[in-house]
Amino acid sequence: MQEKEILWLASWYPNEKNPVAGDFIQRHAIAVTAYRKLTVIYMDQSGWEVNSTTDKITVTEKGNLTEICCYFPFRRTKIPILDMLLYNLRYERKYKHLLRSYFTEKNMPEFIHVHVPMKAGKLALWAKRKWGIPFIISEQSSTYLPAAPDNFYNRSPYYRYMVKKIFREALVATNVSATVGGLLEKITGKKNIRVIHNTVDPLKFYCKPAALQKFRFIHVSTMNEQKNIKGLLESFGALSAIRDDWELRLVGPVSSSLQQMLENLDWAGKITCSGELPYAKVAIEMQQASAFVLFSRHENFPCVIVEALSCGLPVITSDAGGSGEAINKKNGLIVPAEDTEKMTAAMIYMLDHIDDYHKNQIALDAKNRYSYPVIGKQFAALYQEIGERSVKP
């Protein structure tokens, strides 16, 4: 008998208005479709941030993967409480209409797989009540860590209640790191949360060492508060006062505030910025570097770390959340978050001991743990387990 399709409901997903939003979820989807057919539905949420007049549905088919993105208009009243109420009502009404249409045109899916509980998890609860469709949940956010400004405990009572309810009613829950997974177990009461890490495209991110005139540190991120760029630059500033045999490559958006920060550095000549780059070009940048650095305040399991490892780069990262879970003595160093002195010391160690790190082996180990075939197979095994569990004797 042909396997039923799996329906993904994603709270974050790449779309026309933000092509990189939730791209790590899309990479999970691509990995899974080597083993199972699935449809992803994403309801755009950008209308909450700015007035939106877009009202359309796009459908993209790529082999076993179908992506459905829905955009709906919303004009703010400028009364915050009323805007929140009206927006959520519009979001849920449009989403329910879309799901009704999907279930009418297609056979019922084997189950629903929610990625990030809010807001898509609320629709999985609704589908479970209305049609008896079971669901599982995967989380990628770092919001459960105390260092996150918008952490779980700072959210509204309703938000906290719904997240707990979504987790408790899910058949199975997964998280991309054991660290945040453990926090989720304590917060939601959901036991045995599985760890399935973020994945990386092995056809783009692979070891291709470049001949460099100078040791090149590379940092890739959104350059926001979470990534602690100020602390990172302070650490490099201290390094600059000690030695001159390195350079820093920043890959990501350069805001006006970051530009001002860079202009005020007396060692700014050691820094080059690429601006924001597409996924494939990030791989090329990494292949032309010596080591990767990340000094985040909070993370779940950063994609950039496994991307860097897949290119054979040793990594220096903070111990924020699950950032250090991919790192061992053979592929990098872990320093305390916010400790600029320890970060500088780690950079000095990396400069002096780079020959102790074997790029080809680092890349091979990463490929064997995080590539599409490996992570896709883990999800496929989980789906098979769920299917076998649901079969009655």
Q: What CATH number does residue 10 fall under? A: 3.40.50.2000
> Does one domain contain both 313 and 381?
no
> Does one domain contain both 317 and 378?
no
> Does one domain contain both 229 and 176?
no
For every residue of 164-219, DSSP letters joined together read HHHHHHSS-EEES-HHHHHHHHHHH---S-EE----B-TTTS-------SSEEEEE
- Rounded to the nearest integer, the mean pLDDT of the chain is 94
The pLDDT of residue 393 is: 47
Give Cβ neighbours of residue 198 (< 8 Å, ≥ 6 apart).
Answer: 24, 27, 28, 140, 176, 301, 302, 303, 306, 370, 375
Which two tokens mark 21? 């939003």
> Does one domain contain both 25 and 161?
yes
> Does one domain contain both 146 and 251?
no
Q: Which amino acid is at 230?
A: K
Q: How confident is the model at residue 2 (pLDDT cuts 50, 70, 90)?
A: low
> 9 vs 387, which has greater pLDDT?
9
Can you tell me whether residue 19 is helix, strand or coil? coil
Whether 206 maps to a domain, the answer reads no
Asked if residue 14 has pLDDT above 50, the reply is yes
The pLDDT of residue 390 is: 60
Residue 246 β-bridge partners: 215
Q: Which amino acid is at 329?
A: K
pTM here is 0.94
> Does one domain contain both 346 and 283?
yes
Q: What is the pLDDT of residues 137-162, one digit of tens each?
A: 999 999 999 999 989 999 999 999 99
Q: Domain count for the chain, please give it.
A: 2
Whether 334 maps to a domain, the answer reads yes
Report d(CA 94, CA 16) in Å as an integer: 18
Whether 1 maps to a domain, the answer reads no
The answer to which of 82-96, 168-182, 287-301 has the lowest mean pLDDT is 82-96
> Does one domain contain both 153 and 10?
yes
Range of the domain at 339: 215-369
Q: What is the pLDDT of residues 215-267, one digit of tens each?
A: 999 999 999 999 999 999 999 999 999 999 999 999 999 999 999 999 999 99
The pLDDT of residue 203 is: 96
> Does one domain contain both 187 and 114?
yes
Other Cβ atoms closer than 10 A to 36: 18
